[in-house]
Homo-oligomer: A and B are copies of this chain.
Amino acid sequence: MTEQIISADIVAKHNASRQADLTRDYDALGERLSRRGIDIAAILDKVSKFNVAVPSWGVGTGGTRFARFPGQGEPRDIFDKIEDCAVISQLTRATNTVSLHIPWDKAEPNRLKQAASRFGLGFDAMNSNTFSDAAGQKQSYKFGSLTNADAGARSQAVEHNIECIEIGKAIGSKALTIWIGDGSNFPGQVNFARSFERYLDSAKEIYKALPDDWKLFTEHKMYEPAFYSTVVQDWGTNYIIAQELGAKAFCLVDLGHHAPNVNIEMIVSRLIQFKKLGGFHFNDSKYGDDDLDAGSVDPYRLFLVFNELVDAELNGAEGFDPAHMLDQSHNVTDPIESLMLSAVEVQRAYAQALLVDRKGLEGFQEDNDALMATQTLKTAYRTDVEPILAMARLNAGGAIEPVAAYREAGYRAKVAAERPAVAGGSGGIV
């Protein structure tokens, strides 16, 4: 039986005090939706099945190149991280998998599996790391990994990715995510074409090691850590990669990895249309790859992305099965709280997108009735679906208000007492 970190009594008490109001709100919403021809129970059912993976690295406090300000009770290793992820899962019931980062989370595979299954958790995509040098590593990635001018460094990076696949196979993962920082800081530092050739050659080596039932996700990003050019800089390059590699290769979309003003939902549509959408790293951003909490700055954009996803889901788009992952940096909040609310925000966007009157929308589109088309989206978006989300949690044993329940349980104070403080960032980089 699944172990629960937060005491069932606390959760039960939390829910008991809120259940009457929730039921009333849920029923009132159901009545309003029924007037729009929507069956709230069907929405609840879909929402209840929705899950988004939690990144293991997300439960630690993040930072910037200027400083990292540690939080209390930070996880000391992957096993602490899995416990934190279990809390998130228990209270939200929307995050039943964890995504690992190697070598940070390296451990004996059986121990990893046991640690996760104890809490009913599985493993999502494996993430390799060739954007920093691990201690004792032979070749440095200072001048690139999969595209390094040095063949030895490239091989080492390929081997590392293959090792990630091996670990993943042992723990039940079915995907590898590759994000590299390779690029340049100066015009002329690298030859664009030669770098990309090397990328493709290296990626093909990794692809060869991929089991048949796995997917390979490659992630594009406009800039950072390279500040003049980045090898996989946008979805155009990423799409070429997925094409060159083969049927198991897909593009991963991180919402913060695009140029200013770019219409991300249209990129999502293109990747779906050409069967290369692998999934998402959800987060939000205002300036660059800010890694803010999903939906915290531009919630309508998140909804518009889900509008595309639900459209594809309902159309039965061939091979459509995107992975959902959070990827955020929690610099000023309790990471568990941020991850719980972010998972809920992603779920919320999904629920809102399910409310879109798609038949009406299509009619307005065919009639060039731009105003009513956009109002059709807005009507769905404006609906406060919180009662549906809360009911889904309640029914599944989660908390009506996850953050309140978490605070009531005093989890952070408890782990702060057990886990010694971690030193801050060096502050040496300006």
Contacts and interface: CB of A to CB of B under 8 A. Distances in A.
A261 interface: yes
A42 interface: no
Top-4 shortest CB links A-B:
A236-B236, A132-B427, A259-B259, A67-B132
Given A186-B296, A192-B270, A227-B287, 4 more contacts: A66-B225, A191-B311, A296-B374, A382-B386
Interface string A64-97: 1111110000000000000000000000000000
Interface in A244-287: 258-263, 265-267, 269-270, 272-274, 285-287
A67 B266 contact: no
B236 A234 contact: yes
Nearest to A337: B371
A338 B189 CA distance: 14
Contacts of A202: none
Given A267-B236, A286-B227, A429-B329, A371 B272 contact: no
A20 B132 CA distance: 47
A8 interface: no
Contacts of A386: 382
Interface string A395-423: 00000000100000000000000000000
Interface in A346-393: 361-362, 364-368, 370-378, 381-384, 386
A428 B60 contact: yes
A18 to B, nearest CB: 11
A349 to B, nearest CB: 12
A334 B371 CA distance: 8
A24 to B, nearest CB: 8
Size class of A's contact patch? 35 or more
B341 A266 contact: no
B133 A373 contact: no
A368 B332 contact: yes
A239 interface: yes
A193 B269 contact: yes
A429 B262 contact: no
B331 A185 contact: yes
A185 B142 contact: no
Nearest to A403: B371
A403 B378 CA distance: 14
A288 interface: yes
A196 interface: yes
Q: A67, A301, A308 — which one has the most chain B CB atoms within 10 A of its CB?
A: A67
Nearest to A374: B186
A286 B228 contact: yes
Interface string A135-147: 0000011110000
A263 B228 contact: yes
Contact of A131 (B67, B337, B383): B67
A1 interface: no
A122 interface: no
Given A132-B67, A228-B263, A297-B300, A341 B188 contact: no
Contacts of A299: 300, 378, 381
Identify the interface centre among A197, A332, A424, A428: most chain B CB within 10 Å of its CB. A332
With a 10 A CB-CB cut-off, give which of A129, A194, A225 has the most chain B CB atoms: A225
A29 to B, nearest CB: 9
Contact of A149 (B223, B288, B366, B371): B366
Interface in A12-60: 21, 25, 28, 32, 35, 55, 57, 60
Contacts of A376: 188
B228 A297 contact: yes
Contacts of A233: 263, 266
12 contacts: A132-B425, A133-B427, A186-B333, A186-B370, A187-B377, A196-B270, A228-B296, A259-B261, A299-B300, A329-B430, A332-B370, A334-B371
